[in-house]
A = this chain, B = another copy of it.
Amino acid sequence: MTADSPRPRPVMLGQNQYGKAENRVVRITRDGDTHHIKDLNVSVSLSGDMDDVHYSGSNAHVLPTDTTKNTVYAFAKEHGIESAEQFGIHLARHFVSSQEPIRTARIRIEEYAWERIATADAPARFPGADESKHSFVRKGQETRTTQITFDGETWQIVSGLKDLVVMNSTDSEFWGYANDRYTTLQEAYDRILATEVSAKWRYNWTGDEARMPNWEKSYELTRGHLLQAFADTYSLSLQQTLYQMGLRVIENRDDIDEIRFSLPNKHHFLVDLEPFGLTNDNEVYFAADRPYGLIEATVLRDGSEQQIPADMTNL
């Protein structure tokens, strides 16, 4: 819409955002012979005064997505990558503070973990002595995530993980449920409970003045609480396990006010071996792909506001 056409539009532009997605950056830091890796996938999303580019194609307010990509790589040099969260904070502050039309920046980051390759000859009893200095193997377990949002005043940091597959081979039951004419499920008093954990937790840090969490340490401890709560819970339903996982995090992490889970119930069906004259005493399971139960919920500190959006999957 050009300045000289003030008549109302019958078709309006609503929420909009743009940026460069999935910038793969690997940062090596040298400490003598010993190297350290940060391996990130960074997605930038900017919004603000962007009506013109949609209505008329004028790019005057548009910092190219190519520039946002360049900024990711330049900042990896200028600021280093202390943590995914800290790196995202640098980026978000930069875009909002340096370009007037940009009002909000949201940085999403996936982080892939690496561990050092064990060397053959170092004595195992000196921790660290048996590790390569610059040779690594990708850990390959969960993907760490974070999302940094900044509107020029307030910060929202939502970190998390995905792809973390866990299983309890016992201590899980499912019975006493509602039923209707379409219910055929048999009650289970000892079943496998397996899921692939996706979790996002919101830190209560919102501004520059307050002391920032130690992002690296907080991640490791939160991940540990999730795993231990999963392992420790005698489960009557995946919803109960989910709540216990959230509860453990909120109770133990003062820096986190809210956590949301998306937990697929990865069904392991006991195979019927009767036709072959065999008894299946909770020994042989078929691991099914689809369909799967999908249990999603938010757990939050009393008095906190629910901010993490409901849908963490595209299904």
Minimum Cβ distance to chain B for residue A53 (Å): 4
Q: Which of B76, B99, B137, B183 has a CB less than 8 Å from the CB of A64?
A: B183
Contacts known (A56-B240, A291-B22); A77 close to B273, Cβ less than 8 A: yes
Q: Is the CB of B57 within 8 A of A237?
A: yes
- Determine the distance from Cα of A183 to Cα of B276 in the docked complex, in whole angstroms: 9
- Interface residue from B12, B60, B237, B291 paired with A69 (Cβ < 8 Å): B291
Is A12 a contact partner of B77 (Cβ separation < 8 A)? no
Q: Does A212 contact B (CB under 8 A)?
A: no
Closest-by-CB residue of B relative to A243 is B54
CB–CB B74/A243 < 8 A? no
State the oligomeric state as a number of copies: 4
Nearest to A309 among chain B residues (CB) is B309
Across-interface contacts of A70 in B (CB, < 8 A)? 182-184, 275-276
A247 at the interface (CB under 8 A from B): yes
Quick one: which of B21, B77, B275, B292 contacts A20, CB cutoff 8 A? B292
Contact of A119 among B139, B228, B246 (CB under 8 A): B228
Instruction: Let me know if A71 is at the binding interface, CB within 8 A.
Output: yes
- Whether the Cβ atoms of A301 and B12 lie closer than 8 Å is yes
CB-defined interface of A250-293 with B at 8 Å, one 1/0 digit per residue?
11000000101000110010010101111010111111111111
**Residue pair A284, B73 in contact (C-beta under 8 Å):** yes
A129 contacts the other chain (CB 8 A): no
Which residue of B59, B67, B243 contacts A180 across the interface (Cβ within 8 Å)?
B67
Question: Which residue of chain B has the shortest Cβ distance to A114 in the bound complex?
Answer: B167
Partner of A240, one of B57, B170, B251, B283: B57
Q: A70-B276, A178-B60, A310-B15 are in contact. Are A243 and B55 (CB under 8 A)?
A: yes
Q: How far apart sit A59 and B14, CA to CA, in the bound complex (Å)?
A: 42
Interface status of A50 (Cβ within 8 A of chain B) = yes
- What residues on B are CB-neighbors of A27 within 8 Å? 283-285
Given A169-B134, A294-B43, also A9-B302 (CB < 8 A)? yes
Residues A128-166 near B (CB distance < 8 A): 132, 134-142, 163-166
A61: chain B residues at CB < 8 Å are 178
List B contacts of A137 (CB < 8 A). Answer: 141, 164-167, 227
With A57-B240, A284-B73, A310-B15 already in contact, the answer to whether A293 and B65 are too (CB < 8 A) is yes
Between-chain CB contacts (< 8 Å), 7 pairs: A15-B310, A21-B291, A24-B287, A26-B192, A39-B287, A137-B166, A313-B314
Given A9-B302, A15-B297, A20-B293, 16 more pairs with CB closer than 8 A: A10-B251, A10-B301, A12-B300, A13-B243, A16-B298, A20-B292, A24-B290, A26-B192, A59-B177, A60-B177, A61-B178, A63-B180, A70-B184, A135-B230, A137-B164, A137-B227
